[in-house]
Amino acid sequence: MNPKDMKIIAFTCTYCAYNAADLAGSMRIQYPHNVRIVKLLCTGKVEPILLLEAFRYGADAVFVAGCMEGECHFVQGNLRARQVVEHTKQLLQDAGMDPRRLEMFNMSASMAQKFVQAVQTMTDRLKEQGPSPLRAPTTDSATGGVEQPNLSL
Amino acid sequence: MNENVEHKQKIGAVLVAGAGIGGMQAALDLANAGFGVYLVEEKSAIGGRMAQLDKTFPTNDCSMCTISPRLVDVDKHPNVQILTNSEIVGIDGEAGHFRARILKHPRYVDMEKCNACGDCFEVCPVEVPNEFDEGLRPRKAIHKLYPQAIPNKAVIEKAGVSPCKAACPAHIHVQGYLALSRKGKYKEALNLIRKDCALPSVCGRVCVRFCEEKCTRAQVDQAIAINDVKWFLSEQVVDSEPLEIGPAKNRKIAVVGAGPAGLSCGYFLALQGYDVTIFEKDAEPGGVLRYGIPEYRLPKAILKRDIDYIRRCGVEIRCSTALGKDWTLQGLREQGHEAIFLGVGCSDGAKLGILSEDTPGVIQGVDFLRETAQGEIIELGKTVLVIGGGNVAVDVARTAVRLGVEAVHMVCLEDRDEMPAHVEEIREAETEGVIVHNCWGPFEFVPGESGVGVKGACFNKCVCVFDDDGRFNPSFDDQCSMGMEADTVILAIGQRVDPELAGPLGTIERIRGNSISVDPITYATSEVGIFAAGDVATGPRTVIQALAAGKEAAESIRRFLEGEDLREGRETQRQVADPDVEGVVPALRRVKKEVPAEQRKRNFQETVVGFDEDAVKAETERCLNCGVCSECLECVRVCQPKAICHDELPEEITLDVGSVILIPGFDTFQAKIKSEYGYGRIANVLTSMEFERLLSASGPTEGEVLRPSDGGHPEKIAWIQCVGSRDVTCNRDYCSSVCCMYATKEAIIAREHDSRVQPTIFYNDIRAFGKGFEFYYENASTNVGVRYLRGIVSTIKEEQRTKNLLVSFRGEDGTMTSESFDMVVLSVGLEPSQSARKLADRCGIDLNRFGFAETKEFTPNQTGRAGIFVAGVFEAPMDIPESLMGAASAAALSGELLSEARNTLVRGNAFAEERDVSGEDPRIGVFVCHCGSNIARIVNVREVAEYAMTLPNVVHGEHNLFTCSTDTTVAIADKIREKGINRLVVASCSPRTHEPLFRDVCREAGINKYLFEMANIRDQCSWVHQKEPEPATEKAKDLIRMAVSRAARLEQIREHSFPVVPRGLVIGGGIGGMTAVLSLADQGFEAVLIEREARLGGAALNLRRSLTGLDVSAFVEGLRNRVISHPRIKVLMDSEIKDHSGHVGRFSVKVRNRHSGEESGLEVGAVIVATGGQEYEPTEYLRGRSDKVWTQTELERYLYDEPGRMELVKNVVMIQCVGSREPENLYCSRVCCGTAIKNALALKERDASINVYVLFRDMRTYGFKELHYRKAREAGVIFLRYDRELKPVVEEVGVGLRVTVFDQILRGEVALPADRVVLSAAIRPHSETEALGAIMKIPRNDVGFFMEAHMKLRPLDFASEGIYLCGLAHGPKYIPETLAQARGAAARAATVLSKDVLQVSGEVSVVDPELCASCLTCVRVCPYNVPEIDPATNRAYIEPASCQGCGICASVCPRKAIKLQHHTDDQLLAKLEAL
């Protein structure tokens, strides 16, 4: 399966990362079409269940993009989000999934390139990882057998 | 004052001039406090300088991130009207009732229609330096100032009409077609010519090129070969489709004569949709073009091509039908022709009237050319004499050459330079063998023997062609004559109107013999409905003049037929652009290839070969874009909303306002003035502003620092400080205040971008005096690796091969050193913006000698003209937080002046009553936007909209060209009502810009604004997947499916509102607190002032004089009297805060009297914390052990109160930075340098023989304080610099003291005798700061000062809404700074107190008490300390007025008892579910 056809969910904060993604548009920077942005007011709202549900509903990769550290409009939402992401990576690992399917990025509103790089990074990883093992085995079931998901997570 | 005026109510609106960060602050503070605001900005967008910055010190926050929400706030505010491209012309009236005259420069784009889709940017062929990127990359003539610009609308830059276009009689868009040709858009270029020129191919060959005569390029090297480009274009697009022809009018017009004027007139009328018939007497159309211009210059096929095109446009041409013979003018009218155009030309050759002129061998040039053109063979003999020096004579001569004549002589009256023929033509004729004889006039022709033919002619020497009045009146020398033999003599001395037309033209008025008399503008003849132009009206002129006249006549005929005024608007001339050619690199003009003379003279083939594509590219690239916009009209062609209006004119409007705030911002110093640094000459020397753009992720290099010379990564980068600051040689002896910090920031960020960068900063003093600056500087030098080198750079030289820079500098010890760098950044200073002087003049306010607005220390922000206030760098060089304080202060001053008129000129948004949809099933309407072609070109919007209809709960789906256009939004609201839609989904651009708009649509349609959801299918889909239409379409479907899924779960949220307590509280009765409380009271609010001590005045009680010598004690006394006597102020002395609760608009405060212990409660709507600071009590330098060691405040007090103590004091040593800038107190106390200088000057003034030594680390006399520093040095105060590691030592020696210091300048120890040592002791926060912070839950920084909400953008606010900050409690500062901040805090508080009720955003967390386990998790994690356990229920409670909506509490609540409204788990999961 082409990583371009897999799905990446990006949870972004309103002020920085979402604006960076918009700016990438203004600047017409082209990037893979596999990403779907879910806008949050602040990444402080991110919690493990939200990230895990994204995988359960079929995301092959998930990333959280918040403000630069120390620049959160809500003081420390992004720091909180990083903790949550780190914790959830552990959960993924425990569940037999590659924790690198989940990542946290920080960017400011003017860093369109950084947003694009985030999408690219996750897409590159998907190239080696293949689709999420939680995907319904429809088109492409050969995941290489690296990840052994424990679906009772 | 007139009594009527006095009693007239003041005007509740304010004019804010300058929409940078300061202007926006003032505008928002005023608008939020109930005043109407006009925000006038010279540029096309708001945002000012801050928008240009990459990061801001000392937090390294992204500048755009912090400013852009504010841009949107200003844009959306119902009470702020933004006027861009506008300037103040004059201000009449007085405080309270001003009338401002504003000049609105045209934008050429209709702001109502433009939706910033950017299609026009893509097609615009003109590239000019992008000023926003400091010229480091180009932008188009139609552009946005920057990608995030507000107003988000295009703008066209025009510098006037280009000289070429102005010079062309037909005003062809020359610059436009050159620009289009440059881009290879030949068809568009030719069509552009056709808008003004009926015969482009003909013109390309024969035009005399008025345009090239005025070409600006000629000032650099040579004019552009404009006409040769036109020639090329006419060859590229041969059978093009006609231009758009107007709707058929069914009205007949007759044109007489198919020469250039007639063809032109007919063509332009046909384009309008009129029925045009051209009547031509000859067998073929073309007139002089066919029968006068030889084929080798204008091939018949080329002429036919243009005429065929005109025919395709609908013009009927009837040939061989002549006026007077076949029909009459009256007959034309009777046939139903409503107007007649006469373009019959001058076809009759003029005569000399000399002896034997009628000899058969003497013929007329026009006849000769005509017959040749008709293919008749004329016998000329071996020798031909051509009489005349014009183009026709040259044509005749060269035609004769081609007919095989052996010797062709041209004889003319004029000398070589006077000859009317084109230089190029004469030269070509000569190379073909024509011999030119100048300054001879014939007086007789010699008939041939036996009367057959001619034998020759006799000439007299012509001594002068024109008389003293410049009229043609040749005089001859009869003594000097000659004879020439010839077989044929051809006369080419001029033409006239065919005399046979005299009869048929009837009573039409004539002049100069036969010419028809016409109005020079309208070309109307004396007969109504008959117009005439071309040679028949003017005598023989050029083709382009005839074409132009025909076009103008066509416009007159149109007006005549439509009953419009013939003259209106046709006489005004647009201003001609006059660009600066400095720095333009010369590039020679291309020339057409000539066919060798020997080859060309044998036939009638064209004599030159037109340009190829390479030559066209080279020539068009030489164009200097004089007018900036080339008026190629490509933008008009592609703009779907039809927003472009190139004809827009400037407009002057008047605004009635109560006060005016001027915040015009700054320009940076022109680095070229300091020529020794090579800026502009040396590629790798940049200004700091340019470097800022290089650092910016959205800048020209996307944040990569690259060398302009070679695009390489510079490693060694040097910053040079004080370029255009502290420099008497360029009349800028003030300090620019911000450069030390911005250079430090740029150095840090450059290293962040590329760890190989080794930054060096050459400086004089590092002025890190602001809050957090010292730490920033210290961190840069010790941790980041920025090298600070104290030294003065004398020159910069470029190394030829490497383009590296050799920087020569004088170190502190005086030695000269050189070092090589890869790049140098000049830290350019700030100065008032260029327009500031004009602005001041027009507003009637005074400037200081540098051009900054003149204000006084105790009345900052106030000018000499009441009601006109200033702020920002216009007042003095300052950084962003200070500009904001000043701006807010100016807002407060306006509020004080206009308090009676508050809320008189504001409008709220009135919306329909909201329908309760809570019981309804979701009914979703989906609206998909094309955004012109921005989305639709990539995403199949029709398919997407159809798909949306299939989604659950969707009851309506459609797609629109522009969903945000006014008519579409109205239609959406109608659709919502009509179909009972209760959730709106719009798939278009970004909620960042458009969510507020569509939320308003919901409200207009009567549903709650939270029932709206947006799918971003442009910025995050079509724009970023431009090459993948199918996947982009699929992605758009996904995004809409996710949006619909969430929309179905959206809930209406009723925004909570509560009444505001209209009373302000100020804590602290120093000058800051007193100023704040007075401002609140003067703005009309009740206010309470709490002071711990028994006396008002605070730290200022210790001061006697200000830096400029004003009496501080008297000022404090004045404030105190006003405070205690103000009817709206209640003062609680000896009191302190014991308890504080509540939220913005409604705080409960418990106050305790420190003497009686009595406690009282107080309800207030807003709180200003002004608790001040205190002088550090030093333990260093024998302080406390010797009574000869004083602090600066003691010295000041003794100087004025106890002068006796000063007797016998002859040597005073001041030591700076006592308790400041130390590892444990890593901050600068800001005021000590100025205080030391103030007191040193006072000592010198008292007794000039007193020796005053100031031992300093860096002198931080920023802004105009630098002038006092200079004055002190001039007065003989001695400054010695010491290092933190090598502190001075103070010892008691006998009855006096001795101070030993290692002087860094002399590099040696110096022992100074001292009668007194004066310590510049640090400023510390007030001792009660910590306790108050704990009670009010407001944070402090690591050195104990209170911490504002944002160091850069919110210097007056605490993160907790409704609590504000000013004075020393915030950080050390001078009196004027405290006053500005205090007033500013009052302006902030007024935004709350002026409201009856406050509305709370619906996007807040709410606790379900049923689920809450009171575990305190939320209480612990909230960064704003909002959740608390409600004692009544013992459950968590989140005050909606205080909640910021980050959602951290909701995400950590173990029992999921907290939900963040509008971002509930349910709603977020719905999006994922739909994946």
Q: Measured between CB atoms, which of B63, B697, B1472 is closest to A53?
A: B1472
CA-CA distances (angstroms) from residue B209 to B172, B203, B416, B538, B550?
A: 11, 9, 20, 19, 18
CB B717 within 8 A of CB B822: yes
Give the pLDDT confidence score for residue A66 in this predicted structure: 94
Give the pLDDT confidence score for residue A91 in this predicted structure: 95
Q: Tell me the chain B residues in contact with residue A31 when contact means C-beta distances shorter than 8 Å.
A: 1024
- CB neighbours of residue B1306 within 10 Å: 14
Q: Please indicate whether, in this complex, the C-beta atoms of A59 and B991 are within 8 angstroms of each other.
A: no
Burial class (CB in 10 A: 0-12, 13-18, 19+), B1172: buried
A contact test, residue of B1448, B1461, B1475 with most A CBs within 10 A: B1448
Nearest-CA distance A148 → chain B (Å):
23
- CB neighbours of residue B99 within 10 Å: 13
Residue B1473 has pLDDT above 60, yes or no: yes
A contact test, residue of B144, B931, B1446 with most A CBs within 10 A: B1446
Which residue in B has a C-alpha nearest to residue A34's C-alpha? B1035
Q: Please indicate whether, in this complex, the C-beta atoms of B1475 and A58 are within 8 angstroms of each other.
A: yes
Per DSSP bridges, beta strands B362-364 and B488-491 are parallel
Q: pLDDT tens digits for B13-70? A: 999 999 999 999 999 999 999 999 999 999 999 999 999 999 999 988 778 877 877 8
What is the C-alpha separation between B1165 and B1147, in angstroms, rounded?
A: 6
Q: pLDDT tens digits for B799-841? A: 999 999 999 999 988 899 999 999 999 999 999 988 899 999 9
The secondary structure of residue B216, as a DSSP letter, is G
The answer, yes or no, to whether the previous bond of B58 is cis (omega within 30 of 0) is yes
CA-CA distances (angstroms) from residue B650 to B646, B653, B835, B1470?
A: 12, 10, 18, 52
The answer, yes or no, to whether the previous bond of B151 is cis (omega within 30 of 0) is yes
Give the Cα-Cα-Cα angle B513, B517, B518 (nearest 5 degrees). Answer: 155
What is the C-alpha separation between B1073 and B1326, in angstroms, rounded?
A: 14
Q: pLDDT tens digits for B316-372? A: 999 999 998 999 999 999 999 999 999 999 988 888 888 888 888 899 999 999 999
ipTM greater than 0.85: yes
Q: pLDDT tens digits for B845-899? A: 999 999 999 999 999 999 999 999 999 999 999 999 999 999 999 999 999 999 9
CA–centroid distance for B328 within its chain:
60
Q: At B260, which helix (H) or strand (E)? A: helix B260-271
pLDDT, mean of residues B454-458: 90
Q: pLDDT tens digits for B179-229? A: 999 999 999 999 999 999 999 999 999 999 999 999 999 999 999 999 999
CA-CA distances (angstroms) from residue B89 to B17, B105, B651, B654, B871?
A: 11, 12, 11, 10, 20
Residue B92 bridge partners (DSSP): B99
3-state helix, strand and coil shares in percent for chain B, rounded to the nearest 5? 30, 25, 45
pLDDT, mean of residues B155-166: 96
Closest to B566 measured CA to CA, from B580, B550, B553, B581? B553
CA-CA distances (angstroms) from residue A124 to A28, A118, B821?
A: 21, 10, 39
B contact test, residue of A36, A60, A119 with most B CBs within 10 A: A36
SS3 per residue for B428-496: HHHHCCCEEEECEEEEEEEECHHHCCEEEEEEEEEEEEECCCCCEEEEEEEEEEEEEECCEEEECCCEE
In chain A, the percentage of residues whose pLDDT exceeds 90 is 63
What is the C-alpha separation between B1005 and B1411, in angstroms, rounded?
A: 36
Per this entry, what is the length of chain B?
1475
Burial annotation A5-34 (CB, 10 A radius, 16+ → b, else e) = bbbbbbbbbbbbbbbbbbbbbbbebebbbb
Residue B1364 has pLDDT above 80, yes or no: yes
pLDDT, mean of residues B1271-1300: 95
Q: DSSP for B334-355?
A: HTTEEEEEE-----EEP----B
Residue B601 has pLDDT above 80, yes or no: yes
pLDDT, greater one: B96 or B1400 = B96
CB B780 within 8 A of CB B747: yes
- CB neighbours of residue B1058 within 10 Å: 15
* pLDDT-based confidence at residue A148 (cuts at 50, 70, 90): low
Give the pLDDT confidence score for residue B430 in this predicted structure: 94
Q: pLDDT tens digits for B257-304? A: 999 999 999 999 999 999 999 999 999 999 999 999 999 999 999 999
Q: What's the mean per-residue pLDDT of chain B?
A: 93
Q: Please indicate whether, in this complex, the C-beta atoms of B1024 and A50 are within 8 angstroms of each other.
A: no
What is the C-alpha separation between B291 and B286, in angstroms, rounded?
A: 7
CA-CA distances (angstroms) from residue B1474 to A56, B1016, B1430, B1456?
A: 12, 16, 39, 23
* pLDDT-based confidence at residue B931 (cuts at 50, 70, 90): confident
Q: Please indicate whether, in this complex, the C-beta atoms of A36 and B1035 are within 8 angstroms of each other.
A: yes
Q: Measured between CB atoms, which of B62, B1024, B1471 is closest to A68?
A: B62
Of A53-57, B244-248, B729-733, B1190-1194, give the lowest mean pLDDT range: B244-248
Q: pLDDT tens digits for B1301-1317? A: 998 878 899 999 999 99
Residue A153 has pLDDT above 80, yes or no: no
Give the pLDDT confidence score for residue B2 in this predicted structure: 44
Which residue in B has a C-alpha nearest to residue A80's C-alpha? B1448
Give the pLDDT confidence score for residue B1171 in this predicted structure: 97
* pLDDT-based confidence at residue B501 (cuts at 50, 70, 90): confident
Q: Tell me the chain B residues in contact with residue A4 when contact means C-beta distances shorter than 8 Å.
A: 1031
Residues in CB range of A149: below 8 A, 6 or more apart? A95, A96, A97, A133, A134
Q: Is the dihedral of CA A7, A13, A16, A18 positive or negative?
A: positive
Q: Chains A and B: how many Cβ contacts under 8 Å? A: 166
Reduced to 3 states, what is the DSSP secondary structure of residue B548? helix
Look-up of token digits 């000023």: B131
pLDDT, mean of residues B967-984: 93
Which residue in B has a C-alpha nearest to residue A107's C-alpha? B62
CA-CA distances (angstroms) from residue B859 to B497, B893, B1078, B1378, B1401?
A: 80, 10, 14, 11, 38
Q: Tell me the chain B residues in contact with residue A115 when contact means C-beta distances shorter than 8 Å.
A: none
Give the pLDDT confidence score for residue B572 in this predicted structure: 79
pLDDT, mean of residues B570-586: 88
Give the pLDDT confidence score for residue B3 in this predicted structure: 44
Residue B441 bridge partners (DSSP): B460
What is the C-alpha separation between B224 and B228, in angstroms, rounded?
A: 9
Q: Please indicate whether, in this complex, the C-beta atoms of B1451 and A53 are within 8 angstroms of each other.
A: no
Query: Which residue type is seen at B1089?
Result: L
Reduced to 3 states, what is the DSSP secondary structure of residue B42? coil
Q: At B93, which helix (H) or strand (E)? A: strand B86-94
Which residue in A has a C-alpha nearest to residue B701's C-alpha? A113
Residue A137 has pLDDT above 70, yes or no: no
* pLDDT-based confidence at residue B1380 (cuts at 50, 70, 90): very high
Residues in CB range of B612: below 8 A, 6 or more apart? B232
CA-CA distances (angstroms) from residue B832 to B604, B663, B731, B855?
A: 67, 10, 13, 14
* pLDDT-based confidence at residue A140 (cuts at 50, 70, 90): very low
Residue A151 has pLDDT above 80, yes or no: no
Dmax (CA) for chain A in angstroms is 44
What is the C-alpha separation between B30 and B37, in angstroms, rounded?
A: 7
Give the pLDDT confidence score for residue B251 in this predicted structure: 96
* pLDDT-based confidence at residue A136 (cuts at 50, 70, 90): low
A contact test, residue of B1024, B1352, B1358 with most A CBs within 10 A: B1024
Q: Measured between CB atoms, which of A9, A16, A42 is closest to B65?
A: A16
Residue B5 has pLDDT above 60, yes or no: no
Reduced to 3 states, what is the DSSP secondary structure of residue B536? helix
Q: Tell me the chain B residues in contact with residue A50 when contact means C-beta distances shorter than 8 Å.
A: 1451, 1465, 1468-1469, 1472
Q: pLDDT tens digits for B1019-1062? A: 999 999 999 999 999 999 999 999 999 999 999 998 888 999 99
